Chain A
Amino acid sequence: MTQVQANEGYITADGRQIGGVVMDLRDITLRFGGVEAIKKISFDIRQGEIRAIIGPNGAGKSSMLNVISGFYVPQEGEVWFKGEKRGPMKPYEVARLGIARTFQNIALFDGMTVLDNIMTGRLNKMTSGFFSQAIWWGRAEREEIANREQVEKIIDFLEIQNIRKTPVGRLPYGLKKRVELARALAAEPQILLLDEPMAGMNVEEKEDMSRFILDVNDEFGTTIALIEHDMGVVMDLSDRVVVMDYGRKIGDGTPDEVRNNQEVIDAYLGVAHD
């Protein structure tokens, strides 16, 4: 279905070099009681690419993202990350592996400032002990300064300097989404999972967000997996697209291949299901 060879990578339409496989999902099946949310799906995510998962409502996209992030453990199938098979994990273990995500329904601390929210993304990078933190001396202080510097770079990158000290609860929706992206970036992830980054945004906010996603990928070389409903955005942004419908994979390939795939067209336009 796709022209991608085993582990050699490929060159995208705009001339970017994509590396080998970082995450390999093999025959994943996920059940909730009797409901099969995901049925025997396999695909891979490669170093440096923007990989989209699309599909109609209830297709199992978010479940898939939760499998990738380690939040759900599939009943069948294997998740391989950087050549190693991954077992069940705690959320902090996932974060340490270099996987960060944003949520469909924003999950920020409303009462805290933008700056503090983004700082929480650095939690994994802090190693000083409780007492050292409490008396704010030596390593704790140095660490905080180093982390703040990193966070300031992200603030600059996402152009949110003007709301640095604003409590998140007072921000409009589009900006909250951007702050969430900032927090995910603060963890310096290798894989960034974005769950509907453009949902509920107006055209201008969508354009901004698209630009930031491309810039993140370009500037930091971050691998990005995203779920999105806006077809225009997905087709423009992503290098390869997985299409799901009713828990099955019905397409996988470049945006052009997917766009011309009869099964995908049917799923979106709707045909009678048996």
Chain B
Amino acid sequence: MANVAVPAQAGLHSIPALLARNADRLGNRPAYREKEFGIWQSWTWAQAADEVRALALGMLNLGLAPGDHVAIIGRNRPMHYWSMIAAQMCGAVPVPLYQDAVAEEMAYVLGNCGARFVICGDQEQVDKVLEIQGDVKTVQQIIYTDKRGMRKYDHTHMNALSDVQAEGRAAETRLAAELDSRIKALDYDSTCVMLYTSGTTGKPKGVVLSNRNIIETSRNTSQFDKLTDRDEVLAYLPMAWVGDFIFSVGQATWTGFTVNCPESAATMMTDLREIGPTYFFAPPRVFEGQLTNVMIRMEDAGRFKQWLFRHFMAVANRVGPALLDNKPVGMMDRLSYNLGKLLIYGPLKNTLGYSRIRVGYTAGEAIGPEIFDFYRSLGINLKQLYGQTEASVFITQQPDGQVRSDTVGVPSPGVELRIAENGEVFYRSPGTFVEYFNNPESTASTKDAEGWVATGDAGFFEPDTGHLRIIDRAKDVGRMADGSMFAPKYVENKLKFYPNILEAVVLGNGRDYCTAMINIDLNAVGNWAERNNIAYASYQELAGHPQVYATIRQHVDAVNKSVAEDPMLSGCQIHRFLVLHKELDPDDGEMTRTRKVRRAVINDKFADLVAALYDGSDSVYTETEVTYEDGRKGKIKATLKIEDVPVFGAASQQKVAAE
């Protein structure tokens, strides 16, 4: 049913139209599920369409006008997805926001889009909106999903979502005609959704995506991976992220597959196991975290089990990826792999919740080759894709059978790619965004007249396979003082592949040599400390422990060795490093909400540390302001040790010259 060549010709030119088609053709198939009160509650497409319509009528009743913006702030719940479609029905534009954003960030976005309606998941979000209502005058109606704790609030301009629906149902006869005409007025070029970019630099920008962008992209990519209405996804990534919108709304309404919402963020892993999705997306850190957990738990297993695990993982490593790619594998290896499947891989996949995965994607950051291969060797079809909000996610993706950890694949269907002279990747596709909201200058500087968009990433095509490889952010690629190439991300990724290192920031643009600030992974290092009877009272104390420093030093050493092998980048070896006393945190502005390092902020905020890394001192005293979850601020004081590391090959001569 998903094989319509041109969606618009079939009358499918909006999400509400797709919803209506699903209600008609897949009426009794499950559309959305949510675990609540310990039970998976489900709604069929017909029921979902009914709920959405009631909500749309209710919002119409409250005066939602075409062109209005409706902000949605909450965790992944069917109601929140429905409210986005309901807003579209009324001719309004849904704007999902990050629910963990602090009030000021929210104020900027709400003010920027001038949202008149805000849909809040719970009391916490309502409080934030009320807090900023002094600055943001446009908000006129607040609708909340969870009624808990809301009784005492002033309800003059506030309603529970279920009440809005009830009133909508009651007003059906009065408002149906108006709603139907508004749905009819939606065309292929009307705005489908507006999403704010996380903004590694400057203020977030509202990316306007049309129905054409979303539906064409959903159709192309659903066909690419042969998604059907029998597939299952788990919706657990932030609703404000474009990927979640494509998976849980775009592709879901296009193919009619089932979207499953976890009970709470904390139960995600359990829910993943219960649902066993067939189509799954996760950023590398989720896969890393799961692998770390498996390894930690294996250390507690009995000797025989440990032996079994090690033996069969070695087999899987050798032949697993080849089997997945349908390459020839010897008879004995096949037998031994099948035995491993019975004893280890099957149960392990089941524990992880990956028993049924047909298509798995990871993106957003580079994934460590060991981690990637671990999952693929188990028989999980994990692939990589490369994309951004402005492209409705997909720019390149890996076809089945051509999967590697160091490339991001071939252009997605319908996407054209070209590499500029400075190495920056440009694309043009049906998914290319319409504009940045109220920001023609930024639109013009990003998208040229012919529709080519600069990704901001530097990369190249591999000559023999045609796969794209991304090196780094184009603007982060710089020159060292001696003119050699500086690609911090390239080195940082190598560092982050070690489970002990959560985050790394490499400095060196315009300098004589490179240095690094490193964040330990509390999970992995804490576990190691426990096993080695190393007592620590805080993150800070553990991070500064001499033995931790020694371990990190070994990792840096190994990374230097591997960086030295690449003649073009051998200047990026790390000469000095320190372990940070606090985790880099989006709440402190050091990272974006999608957990990408903000270099400018870090350079500025940790200026004293940067200075110490380059002035040759052995340690540095620092005070850092931190923001607690409730918005209060505090200070962390620490004295950090700085260590020197030897460098290899060509770069070592350069070091001598530099000092």
On A, residues with C-beta under 8 Å from B are 14-15, 148-149, 152-153, 155-157, 159, 161-162, 164, 204, 207, 215, 218-219
Count of CB-CB pairs between chains A and B under 8 Å: 35
List the A side residues contacting B39 at CB < 8 Å: 152
Q: For residue B269, which residue of chain A has the nearest CB?
A: A162
List the B side residues contacting A14 at CB < 8 Å: 152
Cβ 8 A contact of A215, one of B149, B263, B267? B149
Complex Cα spacing A159 to B149, Å? 14
Q: For residue A162, which residue of chain B has the nearest CB?
A: B266
Q: A218 touching B151 by the CB < 8 A rule? A: yes
List the A side residues contacting B350 at CB < 8 Å: none
In the complex, chain B residues 519-557 whose Cβ is within 8 Å of any chain A Cβ: none
- 8 A–B contacts from the bound complex (CB under 8 Å): A15-B152, A155-B37, A156-B37, A161-B38, A162-B263, A162-B264, A207-B630, A219-B151
Complex Cα spacing A258 to B266, Å? 41
Complex Cα spacing A152 to B267, Å? 14
Q: A161 touching B266 by the CB < 8 A rule? A: yes
B36 at interface, CB cutoff 8 A: yes
B290 at interface, CB cutoff 8 A: no
On B, residues with C-beta under 8 Å from A are 36-39, 148-149, 151-152, 263-264, 266-267, 270, 629-630
Task: Tell me if B's interface is mostly helix, strand, loop or mixed.
Answer: loop
Contacts known (A149-B37, A156-B37); A218 close to B149, Cβ less than 8 A = yes
Q: A155 touching B38 by the CB < 8 A rule? A: yes
Complex Cα spacing A207 to B629, Å? 12
Given contacts A215-B148, A218-B151, 11 further A-B contacts (CB under 8 A): A15-B152, A148-B38, A149-B37, A152-B38, A153-B37, A156-B36, A156-B37, A161-B38, A207-B630, A218-B149, A219-B151
List the A side residues contacting B270 at CB < 8 Å: 162
Cβ 8 A contact of A159, one of B36, B38, B151, B264? B264
Complex Cα spacing A149 to B37, Å? 7
Complex Cα spacing A153 to B39, Å? 11
List the A side residues contacting B36 at CB < 8 Å: 156
Q: For residue A219, which residue of chain B has the nearest CB?
A: B148
Complex Cα spacing A8 to B485, Å? 81
Complex Cα spacing A219 to B152, Å? 10
Q: For residue A148, which residue of chain B has the nearest CB?
A: B38
Which 3 pairs, one residue from A and one from B, show the smallest C-beta to C-beta distance? A162-B266, A152-B37, A162-B267
List the B side residues contacting A162 at CB < 8 Å: 263-264, 266-267, 270
Complex Cα spacing A207 to B630, Å? 10
List the B side residues contacting A159 at CB < 8 Å: 264
Q: B267 touching A161 by the CB < 8 A rule? A: yes
**Closest CB of chain A to B220's CB: distance in Å?**
37
List the A side residues contacting B37 at CB < 8 Å: 149, 152-153, 155-156
Q: A161 touching B148 by the CB < 8 A rule? A: no
Q: B148 touching A157 by the CB < 8 A rule? A: yes
List the A side residues contacting B267 at CB < 8 Å: 161-162
Instruction: Identify the interface centre among A15, A155, A162: most chain B CB within 10 Å of its CB.
Output: A162
Q: A161 touching B152 by the CB < 8 A rule? A: no
Complex Cα spacing A236 to B630, Å? 17
List the B side residues contacting A164 at CB < 8 Å: 38
**Closest CB of chain A to B309's CB: distance in Å?**
24
Q: For residue A150, which residue of chain B has the nearest CB?
A: B37
Complex Cα spacing A219 to B150, Å? 9
**Closest CB of chain A to B387's CB: distance in Å?**
31
List the A side residues contacting B149 at CB < 8 Å: 215, 218-219
List the B side residues contacting A149 at CB < 8 Å: 37
Q: For residue B149, which residue of chain A has the nearest CB?
A: A215
Q: B264 touching A161 by the CB < 8 A rule? A: yes
List the A side residues contacting B266 at CB < 8 Å: 161-162
Q: For residue B36, which residue of chain A has the nearest CB?
A: A156
Instruction: Identify the interface centre among B38, B39, B149, B151: most chain A CB within 10 Å of its CB.
Output: B38
**Closest CB of chain A to B60's CB: distance in Å?**
31
List the A side residues contacting B152 at CB < 8 Å: 14-15, 218
List the B side residues contacting A219 at CB < 8 Å: 148-149, 151
List the B side residues contacting A207 at CB < 8 Å: 630
List the B side residues contacting A157 at CB < 8 Å: 148
List the A side residues contacting B264 at CB < 8 Å: 159, 161-162
**Closest CB of chain A to B125's CB: distance in Å?**
15
Q: For residue A211, which residue of chain B has the nearest CB?
A: B149
Complex Cα spacing A242 to B605, Å? 49
Complex Cα spacing A161 to B268, Å? 10
Complex Cα spacing A161 to B263, Å? 7
Complex Cα spacing A20 to B642, Å? 67
**Closest CB of chain B to A113's CB: distance in Å?**
12
Complex Cα spacing A166 to B33, Å? 24
**Closest CB of chain A to B518's CB: distance in Å?**
27
**Closest CB of chain A to B485's CB: distance in Å?**
45
Instruction: Identify the interface centre among A15, A156, A161: most chain B CB within 10 Å of its CB.
Output: A161
**Closest CB of chain A to B583's CB: distance in Å?**
16
List the B side residues contacting A204 at CB < 8 Å: 629
Complex Cα spacing A157 to B38, Å? 12
List the B side residues contacting A218 at CB < 8 Å: 149, 151-152
**Closest CB of chain A to B308's CB: distance in Å?**
26
**Closest CB of chain A to B292's CB: distance in Å?**
19
Q: For residue B147, which residue of chain A has the nearest CB?
A: A219
**Closest CB of chain A to B94's CB: distance in Å?**
27
**Closest CB of chain B to A99's CB: distance in Å?**
25
**Closest CB of chain A to B117's CB: distance in Å?**
26
Complex Cα spacing A204 to B266, Å? 17
Complex Cα spacing A115 to B560, Å? 51
Complex Cα spacing A137 to B64, Å? 52
Complex Cα spacing A159 to B151, Å? 19
Complex Cα spacing A157 to B123, Å? 13
Q: For residue B38, which residue of chain A has the nearest CB?
A: A152
List the B side residues contacting A156 at CB < 8 Å: 36-37
Complex Cα spacing A162 to B629, Å? 20
Complex Cα spacing A151 to B280, Å? 32
Complex Cα spacing A170 to B152, Å? 37
Complex Cα spacing A260 to B366, Å? 62
**Closest CB of chain B to A237's CB: distance in Å?**
15
Q: For residue B630, which residue of chain A has the nearest CB?
A: A207
Q: For residue A163, which residue of chain B has the nearest CB?
A: B266
**Closest CB of chain B to A12's CB: distance in Å?**
11
List the A side residues contacting B151 at CB < 8 Å: 218-219
Complex Cα spacing A2 to B253, Å? 63
Complex Cα spacing A215 to B122, Å? 13
Complex Cα spacing A204 to B36, Å? 26
**Closest CB of chain B to A6's CB: distance in Å?**
27
Complex Cα spacing A219 to B266, Å? 24
Complex Cα spacing A152 to B38, Å? 7
**Closest CB of chain A to B644's CB: distance in Å?**
38
Instruction: Identify the interface centre among B36, B37, B263, B267: most chain A CB within 10 Å of its CB.
Output: B37
**Closest CB of chain B to A221's CB: distance in Å?**
11
List the B side residues contacting A15 at CB < 8 Å: 152
List the B side residues contacting A152 at CB < 8 Å: 37-39
Q: For residue B266, which residue of chain A has the nearest CB?
A: A162
Complex Cα spacing A152 to B266, Å? 16
List the B side residues contacting A148 at CB < 8 Å: 38
Complex Cα spacing A157 to B149, Å? 10
**Closest CB of chain A to B657's CB: distance in Å?**
52
Complex Cα spacing A157 to B147, Å? 11
Complex Cα spacing A219 to B147, Å? 10
**Closest CB of chain B to A39's CB: distance in Å?**
39
Complex Cα spacing A161 to B75, Å? 15
Q: For residue B265, which residue of chain A has the nearest CB?
A: A162
Complex Cα spacing A159 to B38, Å? 12
Complex Cα spacing A14 to B36, Å? 32
List the A side residues contacting B629 at CB < 8 Å: 204
Complex Cα spacing A131 to B629, Å? 52
Q: For residue A156, which residue of chain B has the nearest CB?
A: B37
**Closest CB of chain B to A180's CB: distance in Å?**
20
Instruction: Identify the interface centre among A152, A156, A159, A164: most chain B CB within 10 Å of its CB.
Output: A156
Complex Cα spacing A152 to B263, Å? 12
Q: For residue B151, which residue of chain A has the nearest CB?
A: A218
**Closest CB of chain A to B358's CB: distance in Å?**
28
